[in-house]
Amino acid sequence: MRGLFLKLLRRRHLHRDLERELAFHREMAAAQGNPVPLGNPAVIKEQALDLWRFTFLENVWRDLVYGARSLRRSPALVVSTVLSLALGIGVNTTIFSLAVEFLFSEPSVSNSRSIVSVRLGGNSHVKPEVIEFVRQGGVFADVVGEREESFVNWNDGTQTRPIFGMVTTKNFFTALGVPMAYGRGLLPGDPDEVVVLNNHFWRKHFHSDPSIVGRSINLDGKAYTVVGVLPAQHRTLLGFGFAPDVYLPYFIEDTLLAIYARLKPGMSIDKARAGVTLVAKRLDTVLPEPYFKYGTSCEVKPVSGFARIKKQREALALGLFFLMLQIVLGLVLLIACANVASLLLARAASRRQEIAVRLSLGASRRRLVQQLMVESLLLSTVGAGFGLALAHIVATLLTRIRFPLPFPLRLQFSLDWRVATYATCLAIIATVVCGLLPAWQSVRESIASQSKREPKLRLRRALVMAQVATSVIVLVTGSLFLRNLLKANSISPGFDVRHTLRAEAHLPPARYEDQQSKDRYVDQILHELAAVPGIEGVAAARILPFTDQATRGQGLKFPDTGQNVHASFSWNAVTPEYFRAMSIPVLQGRSFLISDDGENNVAIVNQEFVKRYLANQRAVGRVFLWGPDGNTPCQIVGVVGNTKTLTIGEDDRPQLYEPLAQINDDRTRIQFVMKSTLPPVMQLDPVRGVLRRVEPAAGTEVATLFSSIGLAFLPSQVGAALLGSAGVLGLLLATIGLYGVMVYSVERRTREIGLRVAVGAGQRNILRMVLFDSLKITAMGSALGLCVALVATRPLALFLVQGLKPADPLTFGIVAVILGLTGVIAAWGPVRRALAIDPMSALRHE
Partner 1 sequence: MAKSSYPTLLQGTLDLLILHVLQRGPMHGYAIAQTIHLLSDEVLKVEEGSLYPALYRLELDGAISASWGVSENNRRAKYYEITERGRKLVSEQQNTWNRLSLAVQRVLAR
Instruction: Give contact residues for partner 1 (rule: CB under 8 A).
Output: 17-18, 20-22, 24-25, 27-29, 31-32, 37-40, 43-44, 47-52
Give the phi and the psi of residue 604 in degrees, each rounded to 5: -120, 135
Half-sphere exposure of 718 (CA within 13 A, CB side): 17
Residue 768 has φ and ψ, to the nearest 5°, of -65, -40
Give the residue among 601, 532, 573, 731 at the shortest CA–CA distance from 659. Answer: 573
Nearer Cβ to partner 1, position 39 or 598? Answer: 39
By beta-carbon proximity to partner 1, the closer residue of 43 and 409 is 43
Is 38 or 76 the residue whose CB approaches partner 1 more closely? Answer: 38
Rounded to the nearest whole angstrom, what is the least distance from the CB of residue 357 to partner 1 in the complex? 20
Smallest separation (angstroms) from partner 1 to the CB of 20: 7
Q: Minimum CB separation from partner 1 for residue 321, in Å? A: 55
| Residue (27 or 685) nearer to partner 1, CB | 27
* Rounded CA separation 502/687 (Å): 9
Residue 36 or 836: the one with the smaller Cβ distance to partner 1 is: 36
Query: How many CB atoms are located within 10 Å of the residue 466 CB?
Result: 18
First to last CA, the chain: 54
Interstrand relation of 632-640 and 602-606 (parallel, antiparallel or unpaired): parallel
Amino acid at 285: T
Stated as kind and residue range, the H or E segment containing 173 is helix 172-176
Q: What is the full DSSP assignment across 312-323?
A: -HHHHHHHHHHH
Report, in Å, the least distance between residue 363 CB and partner 1.
17
Nearer to partner 1, 363 or 457 (CB): 363
Shorter beta-carbon distance to partner 1: residue 25 or 667:
25
How far is Cα 229 from Cα 195, in angstroms, rounded to an integer?
9
Judged by CB, which is closer to partner 1: 37, or 795? 37
CA distances from 126 to 257, 260, 319, 324, 819 (A): 5, 11, 29, 37, 58
Q: In this structure, what DSSP letter does residue 630 have?
A: S
629 Cβ partners below 8 Å, 6+ apart? none
Is there a contact between 188 and 174 (Cβ–Cβ < 8 Å)? yes
Measured from the CB atom, the residue of 43 and 681 that comes closer to partner 1 is: 43
The residues with which 703 forms a beta bridge, in sequence order, are 502
Nearer of residues 34 and 399 to partner 1, judged by Cβ: 34
Kindly state the smallest distance separating residue 447's Cβ from partner 1, in Å.
18
Tell the smallest beta-carbon distance from residue 28 to partner 1 (Å).
4
- In the complex, the smallest distance separating the C-beta of residue 42 from partner 1, rounded to whole angstroms, is 11
In angstroms, give the least distance from the CB of 61 to partner 1: 21
Percent helix, strand, coil in the chain (nearest 5)? 55, 15, 30
Amino acid at position 1, single letter: M
Asked if residues 184 and 228 have their Cβ atoms less than 8 Å apart, the reply is yes
- Please state the φ and ψ torsions of residue 698, each to the nearest 5 degrees: -85, 140
Comparison of 29 and 678: residue with beta carbon closer to partner 1 = 29
CB of 354 to partner 1, least distance (A): 25
Closest approach, Cβ 33 to partner 1, in A, equals 12
Q: How far apart, in whole angstroms, are the C-alpha atoms of residue 210 and residue 550?
A: 41
In angstroms, give the least distance from the CB of 24 to partner 1. 5
The distance of closest approach from Cβ of residue 366 to partner 1 in the complex, given in angstroms and rounded to an integer, is 17
The number of beta carbons lying within 10 Å of the beta carbon of residue 505 is: 24
d(CA 682, CA 688): 11
- Complex with partner 1: residue 23 or 274, whichever CB lies closer: 23
* Of residues 32 and 616, the one with the C-beta less far from partner 1: 32
Q: Which is nearer to partner 1, 28 or 797 (CB)?
A: 28
CB of 12 to partner 1, least distance (A): 16
Q: How far is the CB of 9 from partner 1 (least distance, A)?
A: 17
Q: Minimum distance from CB of 32 to partner 1 (Å)?
A: 8
> How far apart, in whole angstroms, are the C-alpha atoms of residue 446 and residue 352?
6
DSSP annotation of 123? B
Contact at 8 Å (CB) between 675 and 583?
yes
What Cα–Cα distance (Å) separates residue 313 from each residue in 307, 680, 790?
12, 37, 28
Residue ranges of alpha helices (H) inside 642-762 are: 680-694, 705-708, 710-748, 750-758
Question: Of 34 and 561, which has the nearer Cβ to partner 1?
Answer: 34
Which stretches of 547-641 are assigned E, i.e. beta strand?
Answer: 551-558, 563-574, 586-589, 602-606, 623-626, 632-640
Task: Give SS3 for 573.
Answer: strand
Asked if residues 298 and 273 have their Cβ atoms less than 8 Å apart, the reply is yes
Is residue 607 within 8 A of residue 641, CB to CB? The reply is yes
